[in-house]
Homo-oligomer: A and B are copies of this chain.
Amino acid sequence: MRGIIRTGLDHLSLVRKDNSEHDFSFSQVERLTNKLNQTPQRITAETVAEAAKVSRAAVSRAFNPDAPLKPEKRASILRIAEELGYVPDRAARALVTRRTHLVGVIVPDVCSPWESQEIDALTTALQAEGFATLLFKTRTDFSMDETLLAYMRGFNPDSVIAFTENVRPHVLTRYLDRAVPIYINYLMDEEPADGLRAREPEALYDRIDVDQWEGMEQAVALLAGYGCRRIAYLSGKRDSLAEQARRRTLAALMARRGLPPPTIIPGDFSYDAGHAGTLDLFRVGEGADAIFAANDESAFGALDALRYELKRRVPEDVKVVGFDDISQSHWRSYNLTTVKVDLEARIRALVRLILRRLKDPAAPALSETVRTRLVVRGTVG
Q: Residues of A at under 8 Å CB distance from B?
A: 1-15, 21, 24-26, 28-32, 35-37, 40-43, 85, 87-92, 94-95, 100-102, 104-105, 109-111, 113, 116-117, 119-120, 123-124, 127, 132-137, 150-167, 169, 172-190, 192-193, 198, 200, 204-206, 208, 210, 212, 240-242, 244-246, 248-249, 271, 275, 300-301, 303-305, 307-309, 327-328, 331-334, 350, 353-354, 357-358, 361-362
Q: Name the contact of A181 in the complex, choosing from B3, B8, B275, B304 (C-beta under 8 A).
A: B3
Minimum distance in angstroms from A168 CB to a CB of chain B: 10
Q: Name the contact of A12 in the complex, choosing from B175, B198, B300, B301 (C-beta under 8 A).
A: B198
The 8 closest A-B pairs by CB, nearest first: A304-B332, A9-B242, A110-B120, A8-B165, A91-B94, A333-B333, A10-B186, A11-B245
Select from chain B the residue with minimum beta-carbon distance to A241.
B8
Q: Which residues of B contact A331 (CB under 8 A)?
A: 271, 300-301, 304
> What separation, in Å, do the CA atoms of A28 and B175 have in the docked complex?
10
Asked if A183 and B3 sit within 8 Å, CB to CB, the answer is yes
Q: Which residues of B contact A8 (CB under 8 A)?
A: 162, 164-166, 186-187, 240-242
Select from chain B the residue with minimum beta-carbon distance to A125.
B137
18 contacts between A and B (CB under 8 A): A1-B160, A1-B180, A2-B180, A2-B181, A3-B158, A3-B354, A4-B175, A5-B162, A5-B354, A6-B165, A10-B241, A11-B187, A24-B173, A111-B120, A123-B135, A303-B333, A308-B333, A333-B333
Q: Which residues of B contact A304 (CB under 8 A)?
A: 331-333
> What separation, in Å, do the CA atoms of A99 and B187 have in the docked complex?
38
Select from chain B the residue with minimum beta-carbon distance to A41.
B179
Minimum distance in angstroms from A183 CB to a CB of chain B: 5
Select from chain B the residue with minimum beta-carbon distance to A197.
B12
Q: Which residues of B contact A353 (CB under 8 A)?
A: 5
> What separation, in Å, do the CA atoms of A12 and B196 have in the docked complex?
12
Select from chain B the residue with minimum beta-carbon distance to A166.
B8
Asked if B185 and A5 sit within 8 Å, CB to CB, the answer is yes
Asked if A136 and B155 sit within 8 Å, CB to CB, the answer is no
